[in-house]
Amino acid sequence: MKKFLKVLVVRRLAATPIGLVALGVGWYLGRRHKKRRDERAKH
């Protein structure tokens, strides 16, 4: 159910230019954060 809601939100946001920008920023920040966590786990 949670996944379904997420898809709905993403589709709603992607329909607007501002939403697309927000999604892009959120995805970029999330990816960067995950990468930093992985590097810390290696050390």
User: How many whole angstroms separate alpha carbon 3 and alpha carbon 40?
Assistant: 29
What is the rounded CA–CA span in Å between residue 25 and residue 2? 21
- Average per-residue pLDDT in the chain? 88
- List all residues 6 or more positions away from 20 whose beta carbon is below 8 Å from its beta carbon: 13, 14
Its domain, for residue 32, covers 1-39
Read off the pLDDT of residues 10-25 as tens digits, 9 standing for 90 and up.
899 889 999 999 989 9
pLDDT of residue 13: 87
For position 21, what pLDDT does the model report? 93
How many domains, in total, are found in the chain?
1
